Amino acid sequence: MQAQITPFFHAPTSTWSYLVRDAATGEAAIIDAALDFDPATGELGHASAAAILQAAERDGAQVRWILETHAHADHLSAAAWLRASTGAQTAIGAGIEQVQETFRQRLGLEDEPELDGRAFDRLLHDGDALPLGELVIHVIATPGHTPDSLSYLIGDAVFVGDTLFSPEAGSARCDFPGGDAHALFQSVWRIYGLPVTRMFLAHDYPAAGSAPRAEVPIAEQRTGNKHIRDGVTEEAFVAMRRQRDAGLPPPRLLWPALQVNIRGGRLPPPEGNGQHYFKLPLQVRD
């Protein structure tokens, strides 16, 4: 059974978000929605997330789930705003608790007792199934990029988060806390073996003059992904990934994104003056 899938590209962060709808009942899920954020001014906005809700209203969709493939480090999640707007439940992989604990310590947030799995309505495990009208959202643990990474199998499509990009861009980095190139290799081959044909990406970084791709046939990834394809051994992939990751800079929005995303899309608590602030860990070099 096919789902109706509408992609939305958030150009400032090269993020793909999705409205996934069961045509029979109108029930829908939103996957990896992004907030608008200008780090220079500190301005936050909801226009991109609102466009998804406008499309849902136009299609007669009732949003039941707000899903994250993981706690992204390159965009701020709109999950909390969407939850407040729709009443839908938020969900993420249970590995988020490991991610939250790591960044509680790195950011000095030990005084926030609810900065744990309770930031989301539902923590998901491999093999879980969520109802979506006459469809089922099958949860597949795909760690490697992060310990909380999930893929969602819905009808004839799989949403893979950052596990893979387009064939020209390759695969996810594995140098974040809890990342593991061996695990990523196994996760990708688990995806390649699924009985579906369509793969939907969370990001694409096209070459100049090329359009970003939301959807890539699994067969094209298996034969043409520049990092992991038929004939690439686990040993070769891990060596490539480690060498490549060693030279990658941190994501531009790393610290703002994580401070929102580990809270389920909520801002840090306001200070005494009512203002919200992001923390920036400093590294002082001699």
Band (pLDDT 50/70/90 cuts) for residue 217 is very high
Model confidence at 251: pLDDT above 80: yes
Q: Is residue 106 a part of any domain in this protein?
A: yes
Q: Is residue 70 a part of any domain in this protein?
A: yes
| Cβ within 8 Å of residue 25, ≥6 positions away | 133, 134
Q: How far is CA 112 from the centre of its chain?
A: 24
Classify strands 27-31 and 62-67 as parallel, antiparallel or unpaired: parallel
CATH number at residue 71: 3.60.15.10
Q: Is residue 196 a part of any domain in this protein?
A: yes
The whole model's pTM is what?
A: 0.96
Mean pLDDT of 137-149: 98
SS3 114: coil
Give the Cα separation of 130 and 122 in Å (integer). Answer: 10
Band (pLDDT 50/70/90 cuts) for residue 4 is very high
Mean pLDDT of 29-42: 97
Average pLDDT, the chain: 96
> Quick check: 167 and 87 in contact, CB under 8 A?
no
Mean pLDDT of 260-266: 97
Domain that holds residue 11: 4-261
Number of domains in the chain: 1
SS3 161: coil
- Name the percent of the chain lying above pLDDT 70: 100
pLDDT at residue 69 in the model: 98
Give the type of residue at 47.
Answer: A
Q: Is residue 255 a part of any domain in this protein?
A: yes
- Name the percent of the chain lying above pLDDT 90: 92
Mean pLDDT of 207-219: 92
Q: How far is CA 193 from the centre of its chain?
A: 21
Q: State which H helix or E strand residue 132 sits in.
A: strand 129-132
Q: Is residue 238 a part of any domain in this protein?
A: yes
Q: HSE (CB half, 13 Å, CA atoms) of 189?
A: 13
pLDDT at residue 261 in the model: 97
Report CA-CA distances (Å) from 42 to 46, 216, 258, 276: 14, 35, 15, 10
Alpha helices for the chain (secondary structure H):
47-58, 79-86, 96-107, 181-192, 218-224, 234-245, 254-261
Model confidence at 1: pLDDT above 80: no
Give the Cα separation of 213 and 228 in Å (integer). Answer: 18
Report CA-CA distances (Å) from 105 to 101, 110, 120, 255, 256: 6, 7, 20, 13, 16
Report CA-CA distances (Å) from 95 to 6, 139, 143, 149, 278: 28, 13, 9, 8, 23
Cross-strand partners of 15: 10, 203
Q: Is residue 281 a part of any domain in this protein?
A: no
> Quick check: 146 and 138 in contact, CB under 8 A?
no
Model confidence at 259: pLDDT above 80: yes
Give the Cα separation of 69 and 262 in Å (integer). Answer: 13
Model confidence at 113: pLDDT above 80: no
Q: Is residue 208 a part of any domain in this protein?
A: yes
Least confident stretch, 108-112, 231-235, 278-282: 108-112
pLDDT at residue 27 in the model: 98
